Structure 1
Amino acid sequence: MSEQSLQEFVTAAAERFGIPGAAAGVHVDGRAVYACHGVTSVENPLPVDEHTWFALGSVSKTFTATAVMRLVEHGRIDLDAPVRRYVPELVLADEDHAAAVTVRQLLNHTAGLGVRLVVETGDGDDALAGFVGHLDQIELIGAPGSRASYSQAGYNLLGRVLEKVTGLTFERAVAELALAPLGLHETAYFTDQVMTRRFACGHNADQDGTPVVARQWKDSRGNNPGGGIAATVADQLRWGRFHLGESELVKQMQTPTVDLRGSTLGDAFGVCWFLRDVDGTATVGHGGSGNGQFAELLIVPGRDFVVSVMSNGGPGGVAFNREVVQFALEHYLGVLDRDPEPVPYDHAQVAPIVGVYETEILTLTIRAEEGAQAPLLEVVIKPEIRAASEKEVPADYPPFPFGLLPGAGDEYIVTGGAMKGQRGFLTRDASGAVIGVDLAGRLFGRA
């Protein structure tokens, strides 16, 4: 496959999705292939290249997890030890829960913690300590180990584990345990490390669909473990190549620990990584998003293959990144990643799930009308969260059409809009009533 064809696809897809700038990299056949498009910012346009920095959002979790696993290798952290062995000050709304939760459960999102805690703890070295001090406010969605549900807050708590065990700040601990040993010189957490380099600004669309620069570049320091790292696509390929290795650390991180149901993200969690079978091929991956910036990293261990994509425009960034990954899999490996087809819309089948569901910061609403082509799913930031935020908050996406998948009718797929292709499932109580909706690995409970 020629480099030009990757470039042509990236350019065409970016223009179709209205992406101001993007960078894609593929490690294949022992070499790196890059395709870049557009500009860093519509206000100060500089060409994007493979050394342009993007904010990676939740791809950051792979660095936090790897640093923790380094300390497991060194015998300084026990995966099955209670978190309180390392962070004795941990307080949750339920004392038994706080005493029971383990490091392993934080790593594979089975700790029973809600998705996110909105709290501002500053940019000082005490930011994570301050964040952990507020964890008594986070929703507890189930007993530790009872189910998988993606948690940003859990990874921020892991960052505090790293600080307590090493005696370093979180960022310094990751630098010493992961970044420096691998020569990742284009990966960092702090904006003052990025501002002297070429970096991409996030963009969100205004009411006319025109990209507007997002003024908040990335999240606060207390969220660095779960979503605060920035990097170039060249460094992401280096990071991916490390996770192609045969070390025990890499193997352990890629071994399934808990099954996932009805998720686009994967069939199982390893240690942090989403593990997914694509067309009979085992893949390892993680995505991330921030304020108008989106990233995707996918590794195919059995084929010595890595693809990384970054883009700086919403709302199309998620769909754009996904299409580039699918293109790379098909054209370099012959691996087809196709969405399942939903069953025809049946209002009587959908009516019982109509309603409002929520997390601490988001509201998910399902609407359905007889005679419509499809039911609609809408996810918005709660008005009180938007009003209370001291930082810029991205605009909400328009509602997405979705369809139920064949089978018992408890799994669904988004069929249009910015989240097209995302899959999820319904949770029912003993009577069969729907009490929750999972989307992107997160549980929304019925309001």
Structure 2
Amino acid sequence: MKRILLTWVTVILNIITLNAQNKTIHNCRIVVPINNNYAKSDSLHDIMKRYVKTGLPGIVMAVYSEKDGWWAGAEGYANIERKRPMENCDLQYLQSVSKTYMAVAIMQLKEAGKINLDAPIKKYLPAKYTGIVKNAAAITVRMLLNHTSGIPEYSTDPGFVAYVMEHPAHKLTTEFVIGTIKGKEPMFAPGSKHVYCNTNYELLAVIADAITGDHAAYIAKHIFEKLGLRNTFYRNDPDYLHYPNLTDSYWDVLNTGKPANISAIQRANVASYIGDDGIVCTPVDAVKFLKG
């Protein structure tokens, strides 16, 4: 999984998007004091320039250390077609790092006495999902958090993959995503092994919804607001994946050195998942979260 380092590097290769308007998101600014004399700034810029020269559309990086404070830098483009330069304030997709935020929310609910990590997930899951997940009475919340549940992976199911490839710009419902595993045998007995699985965090989001009424609103209030993450967004409004500062997505699907702009596909993909994906933010905000 992602190491908890106070350094965040976002590389725009397969995964980035943007609305065609040339605006900025509300009050988008770097809200930390940037140390222009950061000891390794030249080396970091050289690294980013080197990777841009190899074909990455753009790179943006934020770093924090107790000794030197904050530094942030960017190279390349947020949009190749219009030659829009990448900037520190551009929003980036966190993809699976979004799971870390979901885990924090669950741990906060545990601290508040609203969830027992060692209780079976059947206690918290809505009825429409308990019939889908085999062993729901034996799998605990903790097993979802640490990927020891044995629940099948939705994203590698052949039927799921086929549907996504045939409908690449279609936004999927949570019911469809989780429904993919219906009737599937567990990968292993609950608690007996560890296998990273996106389905675990889809279910954690559903559980958090059942407890809070809206897990995304809970995360915004209890994580984003508390840490002052003003440039971090997750399902906060229907248009959040069309914010103008969200960088474009590119995929060199034919390995020709000419990546195609797949922003529409990326937006639909990210909009389809809860708990295991969905957060966009600036690199500085990502580091602020890790610090917090």
Displacement of 1:221 after TM fit? 3.8
Matched residue, 1:238: 288
Report % sequence identity.
28
1:161 aligns with 2:210: no
Q: Indicate the residue corresponding to 1:209 in structure 2.
A: 257
Question: 2:272 aligned with 1:227, yes or no?
Answer: no
Distance in 1 between residues matched to 2:106 and 2:176, nearest whole Å: 20
Rg comparison, structure with higher value: 1
Q: 1:143 deviation in Å?
A: 0.8
> Structure 1 residue 131: deviation in Å?
4.1
- Determine the structure 2 residue equivalent to 1:180: 225
SS in 2 for 1:101: coil
TM-score, normalising length from structure 2? 0.74
Q: Which amino acid aligns with 1:183?
A: G
* Equivalent AA in structure 1 for residue 130 of structure 2: V
For 1:199 and 1:220, the matched residues in 2 are separated by 13
What is the number of equivalent residue pairs in this alignment?
236
Q: Tell me, what secondary structure is at the counterpart of 2:209?
A: helix
CA RMSD of aligned residues (A): 2.3
Cα separation, 2, equivalents of 1:101 and 1:222: 25
Q: Structure 1 41/94 Cα, relative in aligned 2: closer, same or farther at 3 Å?
A: closer
Q: Closer, same or farther in 2 for the Cα pair 1:220/1:50, shift >3 Å?
A: closer
In structure 2, the partner of 1:63 is 101
How far apart are the structure 2 equivalents of 1:179 and 1:94?
31
SS of 2:216's equivalent in the other structure is helix
Alignment-derived partner of residue 197 in structure 2: 151
Residue of structure 2 aligned with 1:189, choices 211, 230, 234: 234
Name the amino acid aligned to 1:212.
A
Q: Measured at CA, do residues 19 and 220 of structure 1 come closer, stay the same or move farther in structure 2, by a change above 3 Å?
A: closer
What is the rounded CA distance, in whole Å, between the counterparts of 2:78 and 2:192 in structure 1?
Answer: 43
What CA deviation, in whole Å up to 9, does each residue of 1:11-44 have, x standing for no partner?
112322x100111111012511112111112123
Deviations 1:389-429 (A, max 9, x none): xxxxxxxxxxxxxxxxxxxxxxxxxxxxxxxxxxxxxxxxx
Asked whether 1:27 is paired with 2:64, we answer yes
Q: What per-residue deviation string (whole Å, max 9, x for no partner) do you get for residues 154-188 of structure 1?
A: 100000010000122x3212212211111111111
Question: How far apart, CA to CA, are the structure 1 residues paired with 2:232 and 2:206?
Answer: 20
The letter of the residue matching 1:199 is L
The one-character-per-residue Cα deviations of 1:308-358 (angstroms, maximum 9, x if unpaired) are: xxxxxxxxxxxxxxxxxxxxxxxxxxxxxxxxxxxxxxxxxxxxxxxxxxx
| Residue-by-residue CA offset, 1:281-313 (whole Å, 9 max, x unaligned) | xxxxxxxxxxxxxxxxxxxxxxxxxxxxxxxxx
- Residue 224 of structure 1 and its aligned partner are, at CA, apart by 2.3
Cα 1:133–1:210 change in 2 (3 A) is closer
SS in 2 for 1:110: coil
Q: Provide the C-alpha distance between the structure 1 equivalents of 2:221 and 2:117, rounded to a whole number of angstroms.
A: 20
Distance 1:78 1:30 in 2: 40
Q: How far, CA to CA, are the matches of 1:166 and 1:224 in structure 2?
A: 15
Q: Select 1:91's aligned residue among 130, 139, 143.
A: 130
Gaps of 5+ in 2: 1-38, 165-169
Match of 2:245? 198
Q: Give 1:194 deviation, angstroms.
A: 4.6
Whichever residue aligns with residue 39 of structure 1, its letter is Y
Alpha-carbon distance, 1:213 to partner = 0.8
Does the CA contact (< 8 Å) of 1:68 and 1:162 recur in 2? yes
Structure 2 CA distance for aligned equivalents of residues 5 and 60 of structure 1 = 29
Matched to 1:203, the amino acid is Y
Partner of 1:142: 188
Cα deviation 1:337-389 (Å, max 9, x = unaligned): xxxxxxxxxxxxxxxxxxxxxxxxxxxxxxxxxxxxxxxxxxxxxxxxxxxxx
Compared CA separation, residues 163 and 30, structure 1 to 2 (3 A)? farther
Q: CA deviation at 1:61?
A: 0.3
Q: Which has the higher strand share?
A: 1
Alpha-carbon distance change, 129 to 174 in structure 1, aligned in 2, over 3 angstroms: farther
Shift of 1:128: 3.2
Secondary structure at 1:23's aligned position in 2? strand
Query: What letter corresponds to residue 27 of structure 1 in structure 2?
Result: Y
In structure 2, what is the Cα distance between the partners aligned to 1:196 and 1:93? Answer: 35
CA distance in 1, matches of 2:74, 2:95: 20
Which residue of structure 1 aligns with residue 117 of structure 2?
79
CA distance in 2, matches of 1:41, 1:109: 36
- 8 Å Cα contact 1:92-1:137 kept in structure 2: no
* CA distance in structure 2 between the aligned counterparts of 1:129 and 1:27, rounded to whole angstroms: 40
Ranked by relative contact order (alpha carbons within 8 Å, sequence separation 6 or more), the top structure is: 2
Q: Which has the larger displacement, 42-51 or 214-223?
A: 214-223
User: Counterparts in 2 of 1:228-377, with a 5 A limit?
Assistant: 228-242=278-292
- Closer, same or farther: CA 20–221 of 1 in aligned 2, 3 Å: closer
Contact residue 128 and residue 221 of structure 1 kept, 8 A: no
**Range with greater deviation from structure 2 (70-79 or 221-230):** 221-230
Cα distance in 2 for residues equivalent to 1:220 and 1:194: 8
CA distance in structure 2 between the aligned counterparts of 1:180 and 1:212, rounded to whole angstroms = 36
5+ residue gaps, structure 1: 243-447
Amino acid of the residue matched to residue 188 of structure 1? F
